[in-house]
Amino acid sequence: MNFLMFGAPMAGKGTLANILAEKYNLPTISMGELLRNTSNQEVKEYQARGEMVPMQIVLDVIKERLSQEDVQNGYILDGFPRTPEQLTKFVEQKIANIDVVVDLEVPYERLLERVTGRRTCKECGYIYNTSWNLGYEQCPKCGGEWGIRSDDNEETYKKRYEVYLNETLPILEYFKNEGKVIVVEGQSEPEDSYQNMINAFKASNIKGLKEFIEG
Ligand code: AMP
């Protein structure tokens, strides 16, 4: 099954994608991370400002990733498509075949609280938030050092949230019309939000989803 994680920045898309990936042995594809890992300086500048990276770069990067061997039997995608223009290309060029869209809902105040606490492992990309109070001084997965993303500050967050409302949220309508959206309450701690998501999957009538989850 191919999943798409949808929701505002800091909603927990990457965190829930990582838990789902581990439990169901699926690769994750994060558009933001793919772009952060390019050597293109211009891309990093767009990201640091919280602005959308130009579409042609995004399309080249995602198409290349989706052509790789390890994602041919399912994946969890996060961060693409993210604008109406990208959605048009996504549909016209059949870039990905999405089965399920997880719409993670978290109130703005909670999102803002999470921004300054996010830590990302410099080695493996594992995401931690100091608000979980687990006291991790380093990555619990690989022992790597924590990094703080250049766009994880309140000022840039406001910009990213505005871009989300104006450019990304409108495309949810397309997936709703396709009957693929599952709304998940995401303001709890990760394991609880994950359980909300699994319960919603089991209750849904999206073809094959319940069977996939129940194995
Ligand atoms: P994320 O890691 O999903 O929060 O994305 C971080 C940043 O990467 C965004 O603020 C954008 O600058 C850039 N980015 C991620 N996905 C896209 C996309 N689909 N189109 C354009 N820019 C993107």
Residue-wise pLDDT tens digits, 164-203: 999 999 999 999 999 999 999 999 999 999 999 999 999 9
Q: What are phi and psi of 164, to 5 degrees?
A: -60, -50
Q: Is 31 among the domain residues?
A: yes
pLDDT at 5: 98
Q: Is 125 among the domain residues?
A: no
Query: Could you give the strand order of the β-sheet that contains 100-105, starting from the edge strand earlier in sequence?
Result: 28-30, 75-78, 2-7, 100-105, 181-185
Q: Is 141 among the domain residues?
A: no
Q: Using the mean position of ligand 1's atoms as its centre, give its distance from the Cα of residue 52 in Å.
A: 6
Q: Please name which of 92, 106, 61, 64 lies closest in space to residue 79, comparing C-alpha atoms.
A: 61
Would you say the CB of residue 15 lies under 6 angstroms from ligand 1?
no
Active site residue 180: no
Q: Is 22 among the domain residues?
A: yes
What three-state secondary structure class fits 148? Answer: coil
pLDDT tier for residue 112 given thresholds of 50, 70 and 90: very high
Does the pLDDT at position 137 exceed 90? yes
Residue 64 to residues 38, 46, 92: CA-CA distances in angstroms? 12, 21, 17
Are the beta carbons of 122 and 144 closer than 8 angstroms? Answer: yes
Q: Is 48 among the domain residues?
A: yes
Active site residue 119: no
Residue-wise pLDDT tens digits, 120-133: 999 988 999 999 99
pLDDT tier for residue 114 given thresholds of 50, 70 and 90: very high
Q: Is 126 among the domain residues?
A: no
Q: Which of ligand 1's atoms lies nearest the C-alpha of 80?
A: 19
How far apart are alpha carbons 116 and 57 in whole angstroms? 28
Active-site residue identified among 89, 114, 119, 160: 160
Give the total number of structural domains in the chain.
1
Active site residue 49: no
Would you say the CB of residue 101 lies under 6 angstroms from ligand 1?
no
Which amino acid appears at position 187 of this protein? Q
Query: Could you give the strand order of the β-sheet that contains 118-121, starting from the edge strand earlier in sequence?
Result: 127-129, 118-121, 146-147
Q: In which domain, by residue range, is 23 found? A: 2-106+158-214
Residue 11 to residues 14, 68, 178, 191, 213: CA-CA distances in angstroms? 9, 28, 23, 14, 22
Q: What is the CATH number of the domain that holds 42?
A: 3.40.50.300
Q: Is 113 among the domain residues?
A: no
Would you say the CB of residue 58 lies under 6 angstroms from ligand 1?
yes
How confident is the model over 136-156, as a mean pLDDT? Answer: 95
Q: Please name which of 112, 83, 78 lies closest in space to residue 7, comparing C-alpha atoms.
A: 78
How confident is the model over 57-72, as a mean pLDDT? Answer: 98
**For the whole model, what pTM was predicted?**
0.94
Are the beta carbons of 106 and 113 closer than 8 angstroms? Answer: no
Would you say the CB of residue 75 lies under 6 angstroms from ligand 1?
no
Which residue has 């396709």 as its token pair?
A: 178
Active site residue 65: no
pLDDT at 125: 87
Q: Is 152 among the domain residues?
A: no
Does the pLDDT at position 42 exceed 90? yes
